[in-house]
Chains A and B, each alone.
Chain A
Amino acid sequence: MKYEDFNDNETLELFKQTGGNLFFTTVDAIVNWGRSNSVWPLTFATACCGIEMMAAGASRHDFARFGIEVYRASPRQADVIVVAGTIVNKMAPVLKRLYDQMSEPKYVIAMGACAISGGPFYYNSYHVIKGVENVIPVDVYIPGCPPRPEALLYGVMQLQRKIQTETLRNPRKQPDTFTETDIMNTDGSAKLKNV
């Protein structure tokens, strides 16, 4: 896709404003080229969006074209966690632990309405996390219920563009995340501030 065809180019330009000398920018370009073209996702799907994620990986849509092909079953080998589906209170500590087990640099894509805000389960509910950003920091949001595989491809490409703006001089700062005690009671049940 051409640069003009993407949305959110203003935000991308903000990320790019880092400056740097010739040595670092050259090294950055090589490292980022490698990183952004071998993003390995974690096999993590809770609900309907997982089926569209499978469809995106299969014959017709084939997101191996973008280097995001090797589904890893272990979080220790994964670079990106695609949160595909509803996260409920019982699942939130597990998601947090999965995220913590991933090695840096790590990225999060919130796929679908449930992962973004709670989706159809937002109203009159006692069980759903109203947005996974309450638990883990999110890089890219993909709206839809469920999003089409093309939407997931677009989200992945946006993530790759974001990765390409990183620099070694000023490594990606992790936003403040909640610690495990913030979201979990001692008995393992979930405790969330804004639910």
Chain B
Amino acid sequence: MEDLIIDNNTIQEEEYIINMGPQHPSTHGVLRFKVSLKGETVLNVQPHCGYIHRGIEKMCERLTYPQIIHLTDRMDYLSAHINNEAVCLLVENALQIEVPERVKYVRTILSELTRLASHQLWWCAFGMDLGALTTYFYGLRDREPILDIFEETTGARLLQSYNTPGGLMNDIHPNFIKRVKDYIVYFRKKLPEYDELLTGNVILQERTNDIGFLTLEDAISYGVTGPSGRASGFACDVRKHHPYSAYDKVDFKEILYTKGDTFHRYKARVEEMWESLKIIEQLIDNIPDGDFTVKMKPIIRLPEGEYYQRVEAARGEFGVYILSRGEKYPYRAKFRSPNFSNLSAINLLSAGHKIADLVAISGSLDLVIPDIDR
């Protein structure tokens, strides 16, 4: 009998390393975490990137500017329209072209619809990560009407490529205004359901409150932007502080929290959906008449120099840097993707918590993997 008594002093405590991913349902793609554990407690998380590295930056060096737009779609496919807009704004600013007001309004409305669709998908995926399958059906139910609006006007559900340098591909569909208005009425009724279903849920509260703290200093030094950064009090909304398109004409609130835990990152996104609805409501009645594009030269050449344009994508600040040597191709293109910076904070957020909390934390950062690897 005495042999069976285990002496606690002889057991050596050592690090236990497990791989999470690249094929794992809650890494939302092909991200791989190398997790060091002590028991169930996470000591260290090391993300491995590159499982969907598609060399977009290198490919851009052999593509013309209108062609680059189609590749930016495929980086952060949930904010495809916003990414397109960044490249278009860069080219327009470099050539000092003033686009018609109508274009600015339509771009802003579509950007906010994209943000809504993205946050809805995040909401259903986040619920699913924590074991609530119902959110998946609720979120995607409300997302389909947005995709219908996109399809009618832009011709595609997910990857629109509707922006071109100087304007839009086509004019908006005659039904566009009516359908967007109908959708706002519909979604204002449905959005409180999100709170009823998930926000007050005791399981969600237990699993997200006081988990994964990110302080303001860390958010700034790691460059965590978007709703994840704003949940820590980092006022980083590009729409507010460096307005582009029609954002200077609308009144909306920048959602800021100071606590910076997983629950507040959740809360920031749900609240942002209300703000997006507000922005669309202010613009949809006032779309001015006019052209949907300005005439551009068939071959666009940017003057020699460096250019940078940033926009607020659904996950944070998306930036495009282009070094031009006066040719029709960029000499160097660099994308500042919000997910890459947000991912860099994952070790800081999850060290010291349990392994199950890692799923909640990475879910609350809302990572899109092709945007990380590019």
Contact = CB atoms under 8 A, between A and B. Distances in A.
Nearest to B147: A55
A16 B143 CA distance: 41
B23 A44 contact: yes
B157 A148 contact: yes
A49 to B, nearest CB: 9
Nearest to B55: A127
Interface in A49-79: 50-52, 54-55, 58-60, 71, 73, 75
B52 A51 contact: no
A90 B62 CA distance: 23
A56 B245 CA distance: 34
Contacts of A52: 157-158
Interface in B148-171: 157-159
Contacts of B24: 73
Contacts, number: 95
B77 A51 contact: yes
A45 B158 CA distance: 15
Contact of A48 (B30, B62, B159): B159
A91 interface: yes
A48 B370 contact: yes
B137 A125 contact: no
A98 to B, nearest CB: 6
B18 to A, nearest CB: 15
What interface size band does chain B fall in?
20 to 34
Given A59-B140, A145-B159, A91 B59 contact: no
Contacts of A123: 59
A153 to B, nearest CB: 14
A90 B53 contact: yes
Contact of A90 (B50, B59, B77, B369): B50
A128 to B, nearest CB: 6
A23 interface: no
A91 B52 contact: yes
B51 interface: yes
A30 interface: no
B71 A120 contact: yes
Given A59-B141, A148-B157, A126 B74 contact: no
30 contacts: A44-B23, A46-B29, A46-B30, A46-B370, A47-B52, A47-B77, A48-B74, A48-B158, A51-B77, A51-B158, A55-B143, A58-B136, A58-B144, A59-B137, A73-B24, A75-B23, A88-B51, A88-B52, A88-B53, A88-B54, A91-B52, A94-B22, A94-B23, A120-B70, A120-B71, A120-B74, A121-B55, A123-B59, A124-B62, A125-B59
Nearest to A95: B23
Nearest to A73: B25
A147 B324 CA distance: 35
A82 B23 CA distance: 13
Contacts of B113: none
B367 to A, nearest CB: 13
B78 interface: yes
A85 interface: yes
A86 interface: yes
A117 interface: no
A85 B51 CA distance: 12
Interface in B205-225: none
Nearest to B145: A60
B141 A128 contact: no
A46 B136 CA distance: 19
Contacts of B29: 45-47, 50
A58 B158 contact: no
A99 B234 CA distance: 44
Interface string A147-189: 0100000000000000000000000000000000000000000
A127 B54 contact: yes
B333 interface: no
A123 to B, nearest CB: 8
B54 A51 contact: no
B99 interface: no
Given A85-B370, A121-B59, 5 more contacts: A47-B370, A60-B144, A90-B50, A125-B54, A126-B58
Contacts of B51: 46, 88, 90-91, 94
Interface in A18-40: none
Nearest to B52: A46
Contacts of A131: none
B144 A124 contact: no
A47 B80 CA distance: 13
Contacts of A126: 55, 58
Nearest to A45: B29
B37 interface: no
A47 B74 contact: yes
Contacts of B77: 47-48, 51
B20 interface: no
Contact of A86 (B23, B54, B147): B54
B121 interface: yes
A146 interface: yes
Nearest to B21: A94
Interface in B29-67: 29-30, 50-55, 58-59, 62
